[in-house]
Amino acid sequence: MGNWVIHIEGTGCHHNGKEDIDADLLAPRLVEQLQKQGQTIEHASFTSGGRANINIPTSTPAPPPPDANG
């Protein structure tokens, strides 16, 4: 017994109404199954659309040391 996390990131069918393959329709069914088995779900969400990398370095990395062989 303890804390756990399921994180799934993918590309594929969503929002086209096909219950057997749409990620946005399958996700809530998984959550419901977990709850029925007695699991406590603290948060569940579904996000779709584009993604932008916002991990901007806060400093410039130091240059490598000079080559000792010249």
Cα 11–Cα 48–Cα 22 angle in degrees, nearest 5: 60
pLDDT at 3: 92
* pLDDT tens string 14-48: 778 888 888 888 999 999 999 999 999 999 998 88
pLDDT at 1: 78
